[in-house]
Amino acid sequence: MAFNELRTISVFIKATELGSLRKAAAALEISPQAASQALTQLEQHLNVRLFHRTTRVMALTDEGRQFLEIAQPALLGLQRALNTAKRAKDDIAGPLRIVGPRTAFQPVLWPLLEEFCGLYPEIVPDVQLEDRVGNWVEDRVDVGFRLGSSAHEGVIARRLFPVQMIVCASPAYLERHGHPDSVASLQSHRCSVFRHPATGAIVPWRLKMGDDTVEQAVTPSICTNDEMLELQAVLAGQVIGQLAGVTAAPFIRSKQLVPLLVDHIPTRSNYFVYFGSRHSQPARARAFIDLAVQRLVDSPEHLLSARELKAAARKGR
């Protein structure tokens, strides 16, 4: 349309309520000339006269009265819808759809969710964890986490912390089979390998060699697509495993696992939180993102320092 239909109808209804175009213009915060022009445009568009007008009085025509009876409830309903949407955006309440990887991320996400639910009990998290990378828009995601930044257009990514991939074993395994003293010696050890749950592909061990990260072939003694099962196999002393730092850290700190080959731990990959434009985000999503950034950016809880790793490796010998 060549004119703003909603604006012209709003001027018509406000003029009817107040009995004056000038008062309607003031109420709508537009000039009297703009109000007069809007009403004229509406009458021309409808090809009917809506008001009988003199310099002092304006009264609805029969056509104007019929139009008012239909248009006024519709306009009020639209205004209620607009106000409801604005309030919902600003409310710290309602559903919050969160997605993230299943593998290695649950120990990171749950403490964050627990704290967030305590702060905002009216928010209902709807959490979907899976290792496939879905479509942020089609899945109606408010906040997402993933390893690596999102490639989806229009998505903002904020780096959280690097993912350490730590080769480790239990003290019982090392007592029976000895320590691997080099990357090459891994070939003589019992190792676990992880099968990616989404793709079915074997995830190769990756080790830092100088300034590069290389794939290291190992002979699997156990192969699984479940991170917790792999962890249990390593804890039980059945195999050496390369575990994500967020998974291994609490067991290394409690001396249930010993880090190995600590000079070869790669840290090139990072976890990111991703989201849409802050200008259109619900307040509940903004609050969750702010808490995630505050708690997770380079969090020492999920990272083992070089000094901590080397000390744990020495004590495990």
Rounded Cα–Cα distance for residues 97 and 86 (Å): 19
Query: Which of 74, 90, 106 marks a domain boundary?
Result: 90
Give pLDDT, residue 48: 86
pLDDT digits (tens, 9 = 90+) for 245-260: 999 999 999 999 999 9
Residue 237 lies in a domain: yes
pTM: 0.68
**Average confidence (pLDDT) over 267-280:** 80
Using the predicted structure, report yes or no on whether residue 281 has a pLDDT greater than 60. yes
Residue 42 lies in a domain: yes
Residues 171 and 264 in one domain: yes
Nearest by Cα to 285 from 82, 144, 83: 144
Give pLDDT, residue 1: 41
**DSSP β-bridge partners for residue 206:** 215
Rounded Cα–Cα distance for residues 205 and 264 (Å): 11
Residues 83 and 27 in one domain: yes
Residues 278 and 141 in one domain: yes
Residue 65 lies in a domain: yes
Give pLDDT, residue 2: 45
Name the residue with higher pLDDT: 278 or 155. 155
Residues 150 and 187 in one domain: no
Residue 307 lies in a domain: no
Structure tokens that stand for 262 in this block: 């600590």
Residues 11 and 28 in one domain: yes
Residues 260 and 172 in one domain: yes
Nearest by Cα to 292 from 114, 166, 167, 163: 114
Residue 44 lies in a domain: yes
Q: What percent of the chain has pLDDT over 90?
A: 39
Using the predicted structure, report yes or no on whether residue 10 has a pLDDT greater than 80. yes
Residues 157 and 99 in one domain: yes
Query: Which of 58, 90, 122 marks a domain boundary?
Result: 90
3-state secondary structure of 275: strand
Rounded Cα–Cα distance for residues 247 and 297 (Å): 17
Residue 227 lies in a domain: yes
* pLDDT category of residue 288 using cuts at 50, 70 and 90: very high
Give pLDDT, residue 134: 64
Residues 102 and 135 in one domain: yes
Give pLDDT, residue 5: 79
Using the predicted structure, report yes or no on whether residue 137 has a pLDDT greater than 60. no
Query: CATH number for the domain including 72?
Result: 1.10.10.10
Residues 159 and 273 in one domain: yes
Residues 139 and 287 in one domain: yes
Residue 305 lies in a domain: no
Rounded Cα–Cα distance for residues 314 and 317 (Å): 6
Using the predicted structure, report yes or no on whether residue 269 has a pLDDT greater than 50. yes
67: containing domain: 5-90
Give pLDDT, residue 133: 65
Using the predicted structure, report yes or no on whether residue 41 has a pLDDT greater than 50. yes
Mean pLDDT, rounded, of the chain: 85
Residues 273 and 158 in one domain: yes
**Average confidence (pLDDT) over 114-119:** 93
* Domain total of the chain: 3
Query: CATH number for the domain including 108?
Result: 3.40.190.10
**DSSP β-bridge partners for residue 271:** 147, 161
Q: What is the DSSP letter of 152?
A: S
Residues 43 and 69 in one domain: yes
Name the residue with higher pLDDT: 223 or 136. 223
Using the predicted structure, report yes or no on whether residue 145 has a pLDDT greater than 70. yes
**Average confidence (pLDDT) over 127-156:** 74
Residue 306 lies in a domain: no
